[in-house]
Amino acid sequence: MRSEFKEHIIWIGPFYNNSAHISIADSPAAQKWQLALIDAIYARNCLISIIGYSPKRFFPFGPIKSKIKYSLRNNFIFGLDFLNVPYFRSITLRNSLVNALTDHVDGKVLVTYNSSKWLEDAMLTLKRKSDFKWVCIVADNVAPINADAYIFLSWGYYNRFNGSQPKLHLDGAIYKNETSYNSITKSDSKVLNLMYSGTFTKWGGLEWLIKAFININDPNIRLKISGKGDFRYFKKYYKLDKRIQFFNFLNENDLFKEYNSTDIFINPRPISISGNENNFPSKLFDYLAFNKPVISTLTDGLSPIYRNILFLVEDETVDSLCSTLNKVIEDFRMGTHNYNHSNKNKLLSWDDQAARFLNFISNLY
C-alpha cells in the first residue's frame, strides 16, 4: 500500500562510504538505522533527498577536507564540503548546509538525525528565510529546543521530554537478515559461543560482562568480543582467561559470520551510568534477527515491551549477571529455554515504522 504523503523530505545525517576505510568517528549503527528507515519510506513512494556529512578525526589524523558523494544501496547521498580542522569544521559545515538549502526548502520537511550546535545554527538561519518543518530525530544527543517536532529512539527520553512540540517514540525494527537462523537449535559443538558487540567504553558494560564471565567455571563456553575503541585495557582479562576472544572492529560481513556461530548474545549496558537512559541500543535489532537468546539489562531507553523478549539482568552486580548467564546457558543446553517468538513478533516492522513516521509528519500541517 502506497502512502498518500506528498511532501518532499530532506534527510540530513551522518553517513560514510561503505567502500572506504571506517574511521573511529564513523557510526555503523547510526548509518544502518537511518538507511533502514529511509528504505522503508522510499518503498511507500515518498519523495526524499539525503544530505550527508562524514565525521572524521581532525586533521592531521583525518583528511583536511571532507566530502561524500556516492550511493548507498538505492540512496544517493549529497555530501557537504567542510574543512576538517578545529573550530572551522563547525563553521564550514553550517555554511555548506545553508548554501545548499537556501531557496530550496519552502514547504518541505527537514529531518535531522541527532543534533549539534552547527546543525541547530543552520536550521535557525534557514528558518529566518524559509517556511519549512524541522523534525529532529534524537538518537543519543540532547534534544534541541527549537525543532518543530521530535522523534525519540529512547523510551525514557521520549517520556521525560516536556516540550510543547509534537513528539513520537520510534526505536526501529529488527533488521532483515537472510542468513539468520529460522529457529533456536542447540549448538553442534560442545563449546557454546557467547557474543558481545559494541563499544569498549564504560557505557557498553563490557568490563562488567568480562568479570562475570571469568567467574563461570565452564571450559565449554567462549566469549567473543567485537567493537570500536581502545581494547588494550582489556588485554589483562584475555591473558587471564583464554576463553575470551577479541576481534576488535569487524566489518558487517565478518561480524555476521561471527553472529551466525553465536549461541547467546549479550547486551550488558549498565543502568546506573549517566547517558544510557537517553540511549537506545539498536544493536538489539541485529541480535534479535538471529533468533537466539539475548541477555540484556532493561535500561530506561528500552520500551517495556522488551521485558518479554529479552533475558533480563535485574541487578547490576557481577553475581547477578553471572547468575543470569549460568541460567540461560543451562537452559540453552537442555533445550528448556522459554524464548518466546510470539513476543518478538509483536515488534513493529520497518514498514510499520515508516507508516508511523509519515503519519506523524503529515499531522504537522
Q: Is the pLDDT of residue 40 over 80?
A: yes
Q: Where do runs of H (alpha helix) occur along 133-240?
A: 155-160, 206-213, 235-240
Q: Is the pLDDT of residue 4 over 50?
A: no
- Contact (Cβ atoms closer than 8 angstroms) between residue 321 and residue 313: yes
Q: Cis check for the bond before 55: say yes or no (omega within 30 of 0).
A: no
HSE-up (13 A, CA, CB side) for residue 220: 10
Total length of the chain: 365
- Contact (Cβ atoms closer than 8 angstroms) between residue 248 and residue 233: no
Domains, the chain, with CATH or none: 9-173+349-362 (3.40.50.2000), 192-344 (3.40.50.2000)
73: left (phi over 0), alpha (psi -120 to 50) or beta: left
Structure confidence by residue, pLDDT tens digits, 135-191: 999 998 899 999 999 999 999 999 999 999 999 999 999 998 655 444 444 455 689
Q: What are phi and psi of 141, to 5 degrees?
A: -100, 175
Per-residue pLDDT, 342:
60
HSE-up (13 A, CA, CB side) for residue 338: 4
Average pLDDT taken over every residue of the chain: 86
How many CB atoms sit inside 10 A of residue 57's CB?
A: 12
Q: What average pLDDT score do residues 321-341 get?
A: 83
Q: What are phi and psi of 155, to 5 degrees?
A: -65, -45
Confidence of residue 38 (pLDDT cuts 50, 70, 90): very high
Q: What are phi and psi of 198, to 5 degrees?
A: 160, -155
Per-residue pLDDT, 340:
56
Per-residue pLDDT, 7:
52
- Contact (Cβ atoms closer than 8 angstroms) between residue 194 and residue 287: no
Per-residue pLDDT, 324:
96
Q: What are phi and psi of 65, to 5 degrees?
A: -125, 155
Confidence of residue 202 (pLDDT cuts 50, 70, 90): confident
| Pairwise pLDDT comparison (197 vs 253), residue with the higher score | 197
Per-residue pLDDT, 1:
29
Structure confidence by residue, pLDDT tens digits, 54-113: 877 778 877 888 766 555 555 677 888 888 899 999 999 999 999 999 988 999 999 999
Per-residue pLDDT, 181:
45
Per-residue pLDDT, 343:
73
Closest CA to 354 of 90, 72, 60, 40: 40
